[in-house]
Amino acid sequence: MSLSAFKVADKEGTYITNEPVSEAEIIEMASFIATQRVVGLDALTSPDLTRKYLRARMLPLEHEVFAVLFLNNQHRVIKYEEVFRGTLDGASVYPREIVKLALQYNAAAVIFAHNHPSGVSEPSQADRKITEKLCSALDLVDIRALDHLIVGAYEVTSFAERGLM
């Protein structure tokens, strides 16, 4: 996929549309650009960059999605994958499946992320419990869980910054 598929041309970070675009197309373009900027970076060294990327990917969603950024030893992104899809107010998450994927991608570390379609990024008790289970499961195979980010309408909440991991 290229930017031309979205009717735009890149002029050193400035994007000019060749024809009118809808709001949905703008959101799709932003998600594509955010993906291109993160995948293949030297490393995810900036929490702000990670937040911006995840907001672009997850904010437009009307249903809950649990995603994982799989990282190598230098914290370069190997893969972003939306692992579980839920409903308006929840998604079932299975640690076994995340461990399998992490091993498949040969990940050294992961960052969990999910959105709250309600717009509120405050972690629930269920969010805390699943994070603990995921960290324990990954620890058994020596894969580090660096953070769990919750994408809300106005902010992205970090478990690591709150001392929850």
CATH number, residue 109? 3.40.140.10
1, pLDDT greater than 50: no
Q: What is the pLDDT at residue 85?
A: 81
Question: Residue 79: pLDDT above 80?
Answer: yes
Q: What per-residue confidence (pLDDT) applies to 12?
A: 60
Q: What is the number of domains present in the chain?
A: 1
Indicate the residue type of 93.
Answer: V
Nearest to 113 by CA among 162, 139, 151: 151
Residue 71, in any domain of the structure: yes
Rounded to two decimals, the pTM is 0.74
Q: Which helix (H) or strand (E) holds 17?
A: strand 14-17
Is residue 123 included in any domain, yes or no?
Answer: yes
User: Which pLDDT band, with edges at 50, 70 and 90, does 136 fall under?
Assistant: very high
In a domain, 67, yes or no: yes
Per-chain mean pLDDT for the chain: 83
Domain-located, residue 145: yes
More confident residue, 47 or 51: 51
Q: Rounded mean pLDDT of 91-95? A: 83
Range of the domain at 128: 62-158
Any domain includes 107: yes
Summarised one tens digit per residue, pLDDT across range 141-151 is 999 999 999 99
Residue 93 backbone phi and psi in degrees, to 5: -125, 130
107: pLDDT confidence band, cut at 50, 70 and 90? Answer: very high
Residue 96 lies in a domain: yes
Average pLDDT value for residue range 25-34: 72
Residue 86 lies in a domain: yes
Establish if 84 belongs to a structural domain: yes
The predicted pLDDT at position 91 comes to 66
- Which alpha helices (DSSP H) does the chain contain, by range? 23-38, 47-58, 95-104, 125-139
Closest by CA to 112, choosing from 144, 139, 88, 76, is: 144
